[in-house]
Amino acid sequence: SPQVAASVLDTLLAASSSPDSAFQVAAVVTQPPAAKNRGRKLLPSAVAQLALERGFPGDLIFTPERAGEESFLSDLKGVKPELCITAAYGNILPQRFLDIPPCAGTVNIHPSLLPLYRGAAPVQRALQDGVAETGVSLAYTIRALDAGPVIACERFSVDECIKAPELLAILFNIEGPSYCWMNYHPFLMVQLSKRRSHKMTPKLHWRPR
């Protein structure tokens, strides 16, 4: 869970805090604490650290070693998420995870113009190929790697002198999740509402929250 993933969470937390927000962040999932620096002290991931700094409840910050752990899946089911969003998570998501949000599924923010550069290190591979343009995609997650339907893309011209870390930060901070989420989360909410409507009865009214 690198620093760029923390920027995504920051965007979501800020958007959810608005009085007229259509959603709330129910839980945060990130890598477990890892030993860093010379002292080898266990430190939380950048995502967990940001969540704590923003006052997010510590008991709703999940840090499983593997996304398929039974205890983690049980905890996540207990939160009853309607939509899961991932960004640079670095952990394979089993089908049992993908089945948890029953309405809108799981979407991933991927730093390439899918279907180009699926999988790991898409920014590095794009630069190695000398592309003049890359971007960020918002796509549904399925078991096949980065192969789900693409919801939206934002393109970005590549300067020939730019390095991978700088480009990655740009895609995730400036042109990436802020654009995709703030412009397309209404679309996701509509899809969520439609999927909920299949479960409606005459006595029930469903709306995104």
On whether residue 208 sits in a domain, the answer given is no
On whether residue 108 sits in a domain, the answer given is yes
> Residue 102 — very low, low, confident or very high, per pLDDT cuts 50/70/90?
confident
On whether residue 203 sits in a domain, the answer given is no
On whether residue 174 sits in a domain, the answer given is yes
CB 108 within 8 A of CB 90: no
* Top-confidence range, 23-27, 56-60, 164-168: 56-60
Residue 140 scores a pLDDT above 50: yes
Domain of residue 54, residue span: 3-197
Total domains present in the chain: 1
Residue 1 scores a pLDDT above 60: no
Query: Which of 30-34, 146-150, 174-178 is predicted with the least confidence, judged by mean pLDDT?
Result: 174-178
CA-CA distance, 49 to 12, in Å (whole number)?
Answer: 15
For the chain, what is the mean pLDDT? 83
CA-closest candidate to residue 1, choices 41, 36, 30, 27:
30
- Residue 168 maps to which CATH number? 3.40.50.170
The percent of residues in the chain predicted with pLDDT above 70, rounded, is 81
> Residue 173 — very low, low, confident or very high, per pLDDT cuts 50/70/90?
confident
What average pLDDT does the segment 83-99 reach? 91
On whether residue 205 sits in a domain, the answer given is no
What CA–CA distances, in Å, run from 128 to 30, 145, 158? 29, 21, 12
> Residue 29 — very low, low, confident or very high, per pLDDT cuts 50/70/90?
very high
